[in-house]
Amino acid sequence: MTWILGVNAPPTGWHDTAACLVNGDGEVIAFTEEERCNRRRHSLYRKPAGAARFCLAQAGITAADIDVVALGWDSEQLYPRRFASDADFLAYAVGLDFGDHTPEVVRVPHHQAHAASSFYASPFTEAGVLVIDGHGENESSTIWHYKDGAEPRLERSWQRTASLGYAYDAASTWLGFSFLNAGKTMGLAAYGRATQLEVAPLVELTADDFHLAVDPLTENRGTATADEIKEQYDTVVGRWREHYTKIAGADGPNAPEDRLTEDPNAILVAYTAQRLIEQTVTHLAALTRKTAGVDALCLSGGVALNCSTNGTLPGPLYVPPVPHDAGVALGAAWTVRPPRRREGALSPYLGVEVGAPDRLNAAGAGDISGLVRAALDIDELAGLLLAGQVGAVAQGRAEVGPRALCRRSIIAVPDTADVNTRVNTLKNREQWRPFAGVTRPDYGSQLWEQQEYLSLYMLGAAKATALGRRVAPGVVHIDGTTRPQVLHGDEAPAVGAALDALQRHGAPPVLLNTSFNDKGEPVVNTADDALAAFRAMDLDFLVLGDALYRKPNRAGGVR
């Protein structure tokens, strides 16, 4: 059997490091982000050793069995002559002991890895693929044509410093966020949309191109080292920040992070940057379809995490569960060995198995002392939810990617706006940040605009209907949208069964769904993680595998 280990790894992939294992048929055996293993958010500058070890254990193999390590970057361009050999590179970047065997190292250009991760995860046999992020090695946006059985074609590319990602990073840092917290910028921008705020356009669109308000740099050559790219990044982001300062008349917000909605300048900058993304991505999406000569469209790259933009694009549209840099671990592996058989869209449940509850009493297992344990009864779970309790689910193999998809989720009935306040409080988040809803397909068609594929992974905003606003106000944002997930079968058994039980009780079968983690923490991974988070947070119950845990003196029942 052939084994390919895909990685996003330092020094090239210095954030959101990850590992993915595929076999000789291109079948994904395991895939997880390193942050889930080392419990350090975004796993900055850390090799994906824990993620790689999990992948090997899932397949029952050792590092000596790996034939190819595929990296989602051209490390030779970015760090020329840094490593004397592939063995030196693997020791630094991956951290596995390959023994006397050094696997082949394949360096896949960053945007190609992004494109492969999206197309081969999609249900399409042919598609145009649009990749937009901060930068790859030599580009910031690319258009590709992918077709099963054919070599992918790069159709168009835009230079590094004509970067939509840089423009959005500048807005995020102007607001006081990290560039890794761009989702906060998107959430704040909705307050501008809700008031129909007029903003100055930051892009000029032409028939087959776009020109940003901040001109790209003159790049003296097509390739650059990592140090040169960093210098370019700092220069361009600095110019964008100066531009936002001119727009706002201030060099930063006049309110703390938890009260940014009280600062008109903060809303103005967030919404101005958001409109730039929406206008340009809409234009590039149409250009991708025209250039590729096919209507099916795949998106990838960090900008594809912008759910508000995704939700405005016409279908057929697919965004994979891991569009950001962690996803190039999958795309690099698939570039080496594309999947031979594909049936529908990729399942995101490729991570660590939480472990059955009866294993919790083993040596070194999670501390369950003081908790009340019972076998999971779905009607009891529905009763707790209907009584207004907020709880968490940790069940089965974890989902990969930044969205909790009901296997590592906090859930609640969203029948009042107050639940939004409580869940933001227990997650130690700003009160202006929104939540997503999850339901079944038939009811989802009544609650919000339909999405064929985006609702598989909560990657597209959708306008809530009048019914949605009435029965689920806790998951409707200030601009009238939500970021829905639809469960089609038993892919998330406890939450799916709870939705069905709510309907049997005569209640709307819809739940608030958000990631099971406290502020600054990665999403929980193992039973130990789940129990520790349950104790630390003001949650009422925990579904762990097939058991229901509660804290003493917590009342509840069907109301």
**Which residues are identified as catalytic?**
15
DSSP-based three-state secondary structure for 430: coil
Q: How many CB atoms lie within 10 A of CB 404?
A: 26
8 A C-beta contact, residue 493 and residue 545: no
- At 93, the amino acid letter reads A
For 500, the token pair is 């069905």
8 A C-beta contact, residue 356 and residue 457: no
User: Residue-wise over 17-47: b if at least 16 C-beta within 10 A, else e?
Assistant: bbbbbbbeebebbbbbbbbbbbbbbbbeebb
For 126, the token pair is 């042919």
| H helix or E strand, kind and range, residue 124 | none
Position of tokens 């965004």?
A: 319
Q: Whole-angstrom Cα distance, residue 200 to residue 276?
A: 9
Residues 6 or more apart whose CB falls under 8 angstroms from that of 440 comprise 486, 487, 488, 496, 499, 500, 509
Q: How far is CA 144 from the centre of its chain?
A: 22
Peptide bond into 314 cis (omega under 30): no
Is 250 buried (19+), middle (13-18) or exposed (0-12) by CB count in 10 A? middle
Q: How many residues does the chain have?
A: 559
For 118, the token pair is 């999206």
Residues 6 or more apart whose CB falls under 8 angstroms from that of 295 comprise 289, 316
Q: In what order do the strands lie in the sheet with 18-23?
A: 28-33, 18-23, 3-8, 68-71, 104-107
Measured torsion, CA atoms of residues 345, 158, 246, 250, in degrees rounded to the nearest 10: 40
Q: Report the phi/psi class of residue 370: left, alpha or beta, with left for phi > 0 and alpha for psi in -120 to 50.
A: left
Position of tokens 């999958």?
A: 330
8 A C-beta contact, residue 384 and residue 539: no
For 478, the token pair is 């200030």
The C-alpha angle 360, 528, 305, rounded to 5 degrees, equals: 135
Task: Supply φ then ψ for residue 497, to 5 degrees.
Answer: -65, -35
Q: How far is CA 495 from CA 381, 385, 421, 558, in A?
A: 10, 11, 22, 17
DSSP 4: E
Ranges of beta strands (E only) in 308-366 are 317-318
